[in-house]
Structure 1
Amino acid sequence: MIGIATEIALLLMLAAFIAGFVDSIAGGGGLITVPALLLAGVPPVETLGTNKFQGSFGAGTAALTYARAGHVRLRDQLGMAAVSAVAAACGALVAHLMPAGVLRIIMPVVLIGVAAFFAFRRGLSDQDRVQRMRPAVFTFTLVPAIAAYDGFFGPGTGSFFMMGFVLLAGYGVLKATAHTKLLNFASNIGSLAVFIPSGAVWWGLGLAMALAQTAGALVGARLAMRIGARLIRPLLVVTSSAMALRLIWQAVMG
């Protein structure tokens, strides 16, 4: 692997396993793998490309695991996934148009809001609730907005999809988690369509981390299906809060 010692690669694989576990339940896996890659000396652009590559395996594994258990019908969600992929690719292409400094100020506030919603909103369970937005409107408004954000920035994408499914589509927490994973996978693929041609993926390291990410996602998804909202809600609160604190730290430290 390019410029990566064996022991560092093993540590990155451990980080990928933990990220896959967390991401399959509550999102936020990039909070673990992106800093780990940067600390290992991977350049920023290659960090983003390699992270998207290995993260795709985790999101795809989680999506298949939930689908096999009957919590989501992937075929019915393909249109929504296609919108997510295209929007993420567009987001990656126009990333330079949005000042990163603005996002670093706004996103911690939004993520703290997500954490507060799942922490204090009563009645959140695995049972479906009132639908506030029709599927077609949801597909062509919220999905592309979040996926485009994932293409040019990224932290909290899974949490935002989760909140949208719960608050607007009326899904129960477990069902929302299951549907989020395919959209996450699609947005990763869309972003990769931009990163790969630019040579921003370290393939050897990415494949090693992908194996670990897949294993973590498999364990996490199975655990989430066994415990449901009692596990997903607190983990969402923790990951959203952690992402917000990290973004605040980055903004303060420059």
Structure 2
Amino acid sequence: MIEVAPEILALLVGVAVLAGFIDSIAGGGGLVTVPALLLAGAPPVTALATNKVQGVFGAVSAATHYARAGLVDPRAQVVPAALAFAASVGGALCVSLLPTDTLRLGLPVLLIAVALFFAFKPGLDDLDRATRLGPVAFNVTAVPIVAAYDGLLGPGAGSFYMLAFVLLAGRGVLAATAHTKLLNAASNAGGLCAFALIAEPWWIAGLAMGGGQWLGAQAGARVAAGRGAALIKPLLVAVTSAMALRLMWAGL
């Protein structure tokens, strides 16, 4: 049984297309979809769980396009994706044990710091640089930390993955975006598995929105692959700033 009226479902799918486009380039698609689900009548926990359902599709779609464009090798991401999945499940299961309210208070500051970094850091382009962490060290530290956060709270996880790839793995902006998507899909899936135990996602609406996410992400990844840092950087700054403002407005 469809959880919402057909016309509301159609609007949610349209919102998901837009979110998939934005998320495939700069992350932050939940900034669009979660409020839309709340307006459609979903309780907060259901909205978050449904957002994980549809978000997996967009991230996988973008990862698929970036792989076809030769920007990332999915086979090299199997291990970090598995670590991201497991860490996200662990983060979600720790939601009652950790001071999430305190962590939420610091989120706007962290997001603004990310925005300022990408806005004003000189020389950020699509060229790879020297790495600060080797692949193994990166996979066992940065990936699980961000993934656990994605399962625990979630807002801005894509931006934090991006920052880690640029700062620690030495990736250029476009390559960092490409490498982020499969890990984001894995941590979304891990969070969804945990949410499914404690909430009731709108499965039909979530899957329908997933179709919209897939289409939007394909379009966004295609545009990002063509424009690179010239498009990704300003959109990332705008999205992270908007997330910070929304969190502050919500009193988090």
SS at match of 1:28: coil
SS at match of 1:171: coil
Distance 2:126 2:152 in 1: 32
Mean Cα deviation higher: 38-47 or 176-185: 38-47
1:167-206 maps to which residues of 2 (within 5 A)?
Answer: 167-198=167-198, 200-206=200-206
Distance 1:209 1:221 in 2: 18
* AA matched with 2:138: F
- 1:103 aligns to what? 103
Displacement after TM superposition at 1:191 (Å): 1.2
- 2:222 aligns to what? 222
Q: Give the TM-score, by structure 1 length.
A: 0.96
- 1:52 aligns to what? 52
- Contact 2:111/2:240, CA 8 A, preserved across alignment: yes
- 2:18 aligns to what? 18
Question: Aligned Cα RMSD in Å?
Answer: 1.2
* AA matched with 1:40: A
- 1:210 aligns to what? 210
- Contact 2:62/2:218, CA 8 A, preserved across alignment: yes
Distance 2:3 2:131 in 1: 50
SS at match of 1:251: coil
- Contact 2:45/2:199, CA 8 A, preserved across alignment: no
- 2:153 aligns to what? 153
Q: How many residues align?
A: 252
- Contact 1:104/1:251, CA 8 A, preserved across alignment: no
* AA matched with 2:248: I
Distance 2:3 2:126 in 1: 46
Displacement after TM superposition at 1:195 (Å): 2.2
> What do residues 53-109 of structure 1 show as CA deviations (whole Å, max 9, x unaligned)?
100000000001100110000001111111100000001111122333212210000
Is 2:154 the counterpart of 1:120? no
**Where does structure 1 differ by over 3 angstroms across 4 or more consecutive aligned residues?**
none
- Contact 1:66/1:178, CA 8 A, preserved across alignment: yes
SS at match of 1:97: coil
Distance 1:193 1:105 in 2: 26
Gaps of 5+ in 2: none
- 1:61 aligns to what? 61
Displacement after TM superposition at 1:2 (Å): 4.5
- 2:241 aligns to what? 241
Displacement after TM superposition at 1:196 (Å): 2.7
Mean Cα deviation higher: 132-141 or 2-11: 2-11
> What do residues 187-240 of structure 1 show as CA deviations (whole Å, max 9, x unaligned)?
011112212344522111011101111000000000000000000000000000
Displacement after TM superposition at 1:3 (Å): 4.2
Distance 1:143 1:69 in 2: 23
Q: Give the TM-score, by structure 2 length.
A: 0.97
- Contact 1:146/1:157, CA 8 A, preserved across alignment: yes
Displacement after TM superposition at 1:139 (Å): 0.8
Distance 1:101 1:194 in 2: 19
Distance 1:100 1:9 in 2: 32
- Contact 1:104/1:248, CA 8 A, preserved across alignment: no
Mean Cα deviation higher: 136-145 or 95-104: 95-104
Distance 1:207 1:80 in 2: 26
* AA matched with 2:145: A
Q: What percentage of residue pairs aligned between the two structures are identical?
A: 58
Gaps of 5+ in 1: none
> What do residues 93-146 of structure 1 show as CA deviations (whole Å, max 9, x unaligned)?
111223332122100000000000000001001000121111111111111111
- Contact 2:88/2:148, CA 8 A, preserved across alignment: yes
